[in-house]
Amino acid sequence: MIAHPKASTSQGRSSMSETLNSGEATAPAATKVPVEISNVRPAPGQIALKAPRRAKPPKHIADFDMAGRREFLKELGYQSFRASQLSKHYFERLVTDPAEMTDLPAKDREQMVAQAMPQLLTPVRTLEADGGDTLKVVHRLFDGALIESVIMRYDNRVTMCISSQAGCGMNCPFCATGQQGLTRNLSTAEIVEQVVAGARYLKQMKGLEEAEGGSEDTRPLRVSNIVFMGMGEALANYKATMGAVHRLIDPSPEGLGISARGLTMSTVGLVPGIRKFELEKLPITLALSLHAPDDELRDELIPINQRWKVDETLDAAYDYYRTTGRRVSIEYALIRDINDQGWRADLLGKKLAQRGRGWVHVNPIPLNPTPGSKWTASRKGVEQNFVERLRAHGIPTTIRDTRGSDIDGACGQLAAKED
Ligand code: SF4
């Protein structure tokens, strides 16, 4: 259920949504008349691995690496060196207003920016939680599809949770996004733009704080961590996701220059996708949403398990660790009386321990109930017992922080609505 946005009560710092809704840099441009996107709700267990064919979003420099950007600019009729100038404005300075791009010829500026950096996302709604430290933004895409991203501020980092698809084809029955079905894949630039928009908001907040004579809040205002845990199964939109990964980690001005170690790729267990991702040999954390250690239950909770079984999926995750050296996270939403029995903790502990030590970490997450769902979170004592039994098998286990659960911004709750 969507809660009302809370006004930030914090003293001495600007609220994130106040910042988002103020100032020119973040003001939404005139919204195009949205095309109605109608989705048929998937039947139980029905999976969509391929996205429906829909009109493609306009091309943007963030869709390409630097060589591709030069080609793109040439095709648009400009000199190719403009690609590095635009890249600096977009990835380094985070500006979109042509008036601020004084190194571009005045007569071409407006048109060049409109063609090479078209506005891809229009913020339509923002919700705050956790005293203003969590901000969920609903964006409208060029064709009217809605997606969400979440910005979470912590003492030592800022994490963004981003979407890779509009909707999701994996149809996990406990997940709000899964119930919507898959509208379409996002383009690379649509994925990247969520982070750039977040970075812009934070930069603007910083500017406001400085203008107010500084703040006692010394926490960082730069995006340092990205989790692909918003709407969609990122590995099912592999090419665009990998393009986005590169734009995020490539040094500026080719990309945003975020450390690959700050990225987490979440998957529900697309084994061929995990195997392909392993070959990229990037130090990115893999988060596997397992939610059950036995095929009988997982077939029901995670329909894709009917294609790739628990052991095959765990083998792929283990091999990912062996290649990249990055410890794998196992996400496990604890659902009352469904998957939270002690014997299931033991079975999970055994399966993980038999593959080796030190390769994995389990994050049980109290389930965020979705409207109308019959499932709810496990009782506290049961949750604790689950954690202790896993630890008894030598598996490091930590209950995951569920930031933003009161604004539907936590895992499995992103199902974008405008109101
Ligand atoms: S839990 Fe993840 S993979 Fe499953 S339907 Fe929801 S968004 Fe898709």
- Measure 230 CA to ligand 1 centroid, in angstroms: 9
Residue 313 phi, psi (nearest 5): -70, -45
Higher pLDDT among residues 7 and 102, named by residue: 102
Given a cut of 90, whether residue 394 has pLDDT beyond it is: yes
Nearest atom within ligand 1 for CA of residue 233: 3
Strand 285-289 to strand 328-334: parallel, antiparallel, or no bridges (unpaired)? parallel
Given a cut of 80, whether residue 143 has pLDDT beyond it is: yes
Q: Spell out the SS3 assignment of 343-388.
A: HHHHHHHHHHHCCCCCCEEEEEEECCCCCCCCCCECCHHHHHHHHH
What pLDDT is attached to residue 372? Answer: 72
Strand partners, 289: 331
Mean pLDDT rounded to a whole number for the chain = 87
- Residue 303: Cβ within 10 Å count: 21
Strand partners, 165: 185
Task: Tell me the pLDDT tens digit for each residue of 256-295.
Answer: 999 999 999 999 999 999 999 999 999 999 999 999 999 9
Q: Is the CB of 129 under 6 A from ligand 1?
A: no
Percent of the chain with pLDDT over 90: 71
Task: Tell me the pLDDT tens digit for each residue of 177-200.
Answer: 888 899 999 999 999 999 999 999
What pLDDT is attached to residue 102? Answer: 96
In whole angstroms, give the CA distance from residue 359 to residue 323.
11
CA distances from 59 to 116, 125, 177 (A): 7, 25, 26
pTM here is: 0.90
Residue 82 phi, psi (nearest 5): -60, -25
Strand 165-167 to strand 182-185: parallel, antiparallel, or no bridges (unpaired)? antiparallel
Answer yes or no: are the C-beta atoms of 314 and 360 closer than 8 Å. no
Task: Tell me the pLDDT tens digit for each residue of 149-182.
Answer: 999 999 999 999 999 999 999 998 888 888 889 9
Which spans in 22-100 are helix H?
66-75, 82-87
Mutate to test the pocket of ligand 1, among 168, 235, 305, 408 (most ligand atoms within 8 A of CB): 168
What pLDDT is attached to residue 404? Answer: 55
What pLDDT is attached to residue 11? Answer: 34
| Identical fold, 61-117 and 122-206+218-393 | no
- Average pLDDT of the residues in 42-55: 85
Answer yes or no: are the C-beta atoms of 357 and 317 closer than 8 Å. no
The DSSP code for 216 is: S
Higher pLDDT among residues 113 and 4, named by residue: 113
- Average pLDDT of the residues in 134-159: 94
Q: Is the CB of 412 under 6 A from ligand 1?
A: yes
Domain 122-206+218-393 listed as CATH 3.30.70.270 = no
Residue among 256, 245, 231, 315 at smallest CA distance from 285 = 245
Strand partners, 128: 135
Is residue 193 annotated as part of the catalytic site, yes or no? no
* Catalytic residue selected from 148, 193, 278, 331: 148
Verify cis geometry, omega within 30 degrees of 0, for the bond prior to 303: no
- Retrieve residue 218's tokens: 């010394």
Residue 130 phi, psi (nearest 5): 50, 45
Which residue ranges make up each domain of the chain? 61-117, 122-206+218-393
- Alpha-carbon torsion 43, 273, 120, 68, what sign? negative
- Measure 233 CA to ligand 1 centroid, in angstroms: 7
The DSSP code for 88 is: I
* Catalytic residue selected from 193, 254, 411, 418: 411
- Retrieve residue 252's tokens: 């500026």
Task: Tell me the pLDDT tens digit for each residue of 336-381.
Answer: 999 999 999 999 999 999 999 999 999 998 887 777 778 888 999 9
What CATH number has the domain spanning 61-117? 1.10.150.530
Strand order in the sheet with 134-140: 122-129, 134-140, 146-153, 158-161, 225-228, 263-267, 285-289, 328-334, 360-366
Mutate to test the pocket of ligand 1, among 47, 147, 170, 298 (most ligand atoms within 8 A of CB): 170
Given a cut of 90, whether residue 45 has pLDDT beyond it is: no
- Measure 171 CA to ligand 1 centroid, in angstroms: 6
What pLDDT is attached to residue 225? Answer: 96
Q: What's the angle, vertex CA 59, arms to CA 58 and CA 62, rounded to 5?
A: 130
How buried is residue 41: exposed, middle or buried, by Cβ count under 10 Å (0-12/13-18/19+)? Answer: exposed
Query: Annotated binding site: which residue ranges?
Result: 168, 172, 175, 232-233, 266, 289-291, 368
What pLDDT is attached to residue 196? Answer: 98
Q: Is the CB of 194 under 6 A from ligand 1?
A: no
What pLDDT is attached to residue 312? Answer: 98
Task: Tell me the pLDDT tens digit for each residue of 220-232.
Answer: 889 999 999 999 9
- Measure 126 CA to ligand 1 centroid, in angstroms: 22
